[in-house]
Every structure is written in C-alpha cells, then in structure tokens.
Structure 1
Amino acid sequence: MIARETLKKGHISARPKNTLPTNGFEPGIHSFHLDNIRDGFLYVPKNYNKDVPTPLAVMLHGAGGNAEHGLNLLKPYADEKNILLLAPASRSVTWDIIAKENFNGDIIFIDQALTIAFENYNVDRDHIAVGGFSDGASYGLCVGLSNGDLFTHIMAFSPGFYHTVENKGKPAVFISHGVKDHVLPIAPCSRRIVPRLKRLNYNIQYKEFQGEHEIPADISATAVNWFLET
C-alpha cells in the first residue's frame, strides 16, 4: 500500500523482483481482477520467455476511454517486438490529476497492476515505459516524470500538459503531436511542454506530423523502436 505522503507526490512503490518469477500467465490478454467495473489488462507476447528480461510498457487511454483503448495503442507491436503491455483503466472518466487536480486512486491502481506484473514476469529494468494518448499522454508525463527512478521511458502521444509534485530520475521522453490538432492544439500543448522539459535537461525525442488528434502508424512505430533502442 502506498503511504499517504508518497501518494500525494504520485510516487509508485512497485519494483521489479530480484529473483526470477516462476509463475506467469499464458500469452494473450488477461484481466487484473482488481476492479469489477473499471479493471485493466495485461498483454503477454506470444514469444515471452521467463528466462529473458522483457520490456514492459504501461499505456493509458484518453478521456472517456477504457483499458482496451490503452492496450490497443501498442498491441500491434507487442508480439513482433516482444513487449509486455499493461493497460489500466482510470478510476473516473479521466485520470485523477486531471479530474481532481491531485494524485489519488489511479496511482494506487497502477501500483497494484505493476506489482502483479513484477511478481509474475521477468521485466527488463532498463526498458520500463509509461505513456498514452491525449489525456493518457498528459497523465503518462505526470506519472513518468514523478517516477523516473522506475520508468526509463515516457511515450506521450498528443499530450495537453503535465504536472508533478516531485520529480525523480531522468527518463527519456518521446512526444508526438499533429500540427492540425483541434482537440489539444499543438501551440499551447506540446510546443510548450517540450521546451520546458529541455530546460530541465530531459532527453527529448519530439515528432510533429501533418495530422489531427491521432497517432499515425509511422509515429507509433517510431516510438516503439525508440523505446527499445534507447
């Protein structure tokens, strides 16, 4: 359980195990069984090998979305690239820092989901990502920057903002945004976020594209390759 003061800062307590997990689910999609209504999914790639450290990505859906939306952000690459995927659902219609202006139930849920993953899978400590699309991208930045001692990478597709109480570590950051985005316009969003993070000495990979509020296939493929190769 996350301590109250730790929760207020958005800090996650779950960590990969020092011993090789002996359990684990079969390849495919599995529910966390942490909530009867807004649960989440774990995707195990078909070539997962418990003897080999495997990259893991926590992917977060946009406002009004669900865990399946988050899972689908990178699912097309999971088998080919051998990536474990975690896709939690927000406790409300969007993530706590956006809905309530503080870290709350969503951090607890993500911590619980990561605990399940770390207890059952051999996770590559050098490749643990968090990210998402739209509100999920904003929250991915909030969580990733707050927990850079756990997350090595952040993948934020069309974020609107970020807010942290106490940053930890220096995760690498990938941000993409469509120049014709009318939902979260690029000028007050990514074009403000990126310079701010650069001033804080984060390693940023930034991609603008000729599109709207979306993730083109070449952008998501570029993000995945960046995650695995960085």
Structure 2
Amino acid sequence: MLLQARPRATAARLAPGLYRIDTAAGAGPDHRPAWLRMPAGQDGRAPSALAVMLHGSGGEPEQGLALLEPYASRAGLPVLAPASDSYTWDAVLGRAGPDAAHIDEALGWVFQRHAFDAARIHVGGFSDGASCALALGLGNGGLFRRVLALSPGFVPPTAPQGEPEVLVSHGTADRVLPIARCSRVIVPSLRRAGYAVDYREFDGGHEIPAGIAEAAVQWLLR
C-alpha cells in the first residue's frame, strides 16, 4: 500500500515525552494504539529525523519503542512504534489488512504536530517486523529513505518505489529464522535488484545485540 502521509512545513513542536496515538482505520476490537517517543536533546530549530519501528510476531508497540534503546534516546532520534492489528503484520500474513492504514494515520498525526526532515524518515523492525519493514520501505521509497531489517525472515511481495538504502543484520546462530534461508537469501536478492545494502552478521541468535542497535542508530542518523 502506498502511504499518503508526508512531512509538512510547520512551526509546531512536540515536547519530549511519550505520546499515545489512537488510530481509527479499520480498527478491530483488540486494536492497540501506536506510541511516539520524542527524546530530549533535540535541536528545536531544525526538522527531526524519524524512525518507524515495527515489533516482532506476538509483540507490542512498546517492543518497537525499545528495539534501538538506549541509543535512539541518547542520540535524540524520535521513534514511532505502531501495533499490528493481528498477532503479526498483514504483509507477513500475505493479506490486505488495516496495518498500513494504521501506520499511515499515525504518521499523519505525527507530521501534523512536529517538523520532520523529509530526507530522514526511515522504517525498520525486528523479526516479522523486519520483514514488514522491507515490504513497507521498498514499496514506499518516496517516503522512507532507509530501511532497517533486524533478523528478517523474507521480503513480502511489494511494488517497488524508489531506491531506499537498506541495512540488514542477522545472528549466525538464529534458530527462529535461520540465517541460511533468510538474510543470506534476502541480501543477494536485494543487491541484484539494485539496492544498496549494508549487511552485518553477528555471533548470536534471534536478538539485537547492543553493538548492532548502536550502529543502526548511527546509520539512520548519518
């Protein structure tokens, strides 16, 4: 789904804090809100970067907020963490559902209330969230400049738009989404398609080591 929300010229600024965003698009009875963390230490005169971070299967939006901590907060990187409508993301389930509309609505809420830099809007996630981030990011290259895939399983079908940069990380001992059939397949496929991919393997399982989280924040903000 092509997202419609875009950063806008605005003098509005959100104070540091945690913001609950209740989206209405197609919300089911168990629908959960999105959350936005605005960290302290931002330059109020310049538009901000933004990372949309997607939780893994069975996760909560709070997991999305935590994926890059404490490094995102230390670096002053705002994080928007939506929630999937079901136990995982529609893109992973291979269906057309309300998740993209929820994300679009949450982004619209955020862009209306704070000045963000259109050249530094990014999307990422962990596990199933990483797979969804690949679909959402590659299909919305006009919005997302970088896509962060932390231990993804696959790239769901999407209609490519633009050429966002991609960073993929994966543990060599991952037993949940084994690297041999996941990232070691995904990365060559993306490179053949013409994407610039920064690929980082690490000794570990289905996790985000501190060094990977810190490097990811630096990559998103460079």
TM-score range, shorter chain: over 0.9
Spell out structure 1 runs of 4+ moving beyond 6 A. none
How far apart in 1 are the matches of 2:96 and 2:36? Answer: 23
The alpha carbon displacement at 1:37 in A equals 4.3
- Please show how residues 155-166 of structure 1 align to structure 2 within 5 Å: 155-166=148-159
How far apart in 2 are the matches of 1:218 and 1:77? Answer: 10
The aligned residue for residue 66 of structure 1 is 60
How far apart in 2 are the matches of 1:32 and 1:212? Answer: 33
The one-letter amino acid of 1:13's match is Q
How far apart in 2 are the matches of 1:53 and 1:203? Answer: 26
Whether 1:152 and 2:145 are equivalent positions in the alignment is yes
Whether 1:52 and 2:46 are equivalent positions in the alignment is yes
The aligned residue for residue 7 of structure 1 is none
Q: Give the unaligned 5+ runs of structure 1.
A: 1-9
How far apart in 1 are the matches of 2:208 and 2:192? Answer: 26
Per-residue displacement from partner, 1:186-219 (whole Å, max 9, x unpaired)?
0110000000000011010000011000000001
- Please show how residues 36-115 of structure 1 align to structure 2 within 5 Å: 37-99=31-93, 101-115=94-108
Contact 1:60 1:70 in 2 (8 A): yes
Contact 1:21 1:50 in 2 (8 A): no
> Which SS does the other structure have where 2:175 is aligned?
coil
The aligned residue for residue 185 of structure 2 is 192
> Which SS does the other structure have where 2:65 is aligned?
helix
The aligned residue for residue 15 of structure 2 is 26
The alpha carbon displacement at 1:113 in A equals 0.6
Contact 1:145 1:164 in 2 (8 A): no
How far apart in 2 are the matches of 1:224 and 1:153? Answer: 11
How far apart in 1 are the matches of 2:184 and 2:195? Answer: 15
The aligned residue for residue 5 of structure 1 is none
The aligned residue for residue 6 of structure 1 is none
- Please show how residues 116-127 of structure 1 align to structure 2 within 5 Å: 116-127=109-120
The one-letter amino acid of 1:170's match is E
The one-letter amino acid of 1:130's match is V
Contact 1:178 1:186 in 2 (8 A): yes
> Which SS does the other structure have where 1:75 is aligned?
coil
Contact 1:131 1:155 in 2 (8 A): yes
Q: Give the unaligned 5+ runs of structure 2.
A: 25-29
> Which SS does the other structure have where 1:110 is aligned?
helix
The one-letter amino acid of 1:27's match is P
> Which SS does the other structure have where 1:52 is aligned?
coil
Contact 1:20 1:51 in 2 (8 A): no
Choose 34-43 or 138-147, whichever is displaced more. Answer: 34-43
> Which SS does the other structure have where 2:35 is aligned?
strand
Contact 1:154 1:171 in 2 (8 A): yes
The one-letter amino acid of 1:198's match is R
Per-residue displacement from partner, 1:149-180 (whole Å, max 9, x unpaired)?
10000111000001233110100000000010
Structure 2 length as normaliser, TM-score?
0.93
The alpha carbon displacement at 1:25 in A equals 3.5
> Which SS does the other structure have where 2:181 is aligned?
coil
RMSD: 1.4
The aligned residue for residue 179 of structure 1 is 172
